[in-house]
Amino acid sequence: MAERKIPQRTCVCCRTTHDKRDLLRVVKTPEGTVQVDTTGKVNGRGCYLCKDPACAARVLKTKPLSKFLGVPVGEEVYEKLKEVLLG
């Protein structure tokens, strides 16, 4: 029986490739809202962030998500990211 291929995704901040399940997904829903997707199953356009503390700090400082998702990202999304990534 063939082994299942593990999907790979790239962190939008540090540009390193990791297993999809090791990354945190931020998604723009079809309604245009942005949310942190801890399940990885929310419908919409997503981008991925690694859980490295240095990378998380850089994301919170530079706030690059608007560029990747194509919509303004509110402070509440970055607060949720801070909570999830940094504890």
83 exposure class (CB count in 10 Å sphere: 0-12, 13-18, 19+): exposed
- Ordered by start, the domain boundaries in the chain are 8-86
CATH topology assigned to domain 8-86: Hypothetical Cytosolic Protein; Chain: A; (3.30.1230)
Q: Residue 42, Cβ neighbours under 10 Å: how many? A: 15
pLDDT in tens, 34-86: 999 988 899 999 999 998 989 989 998 998 899 999 999 999 999 999 999 88
Strand partners, 49: 24
pTM score = 0.88
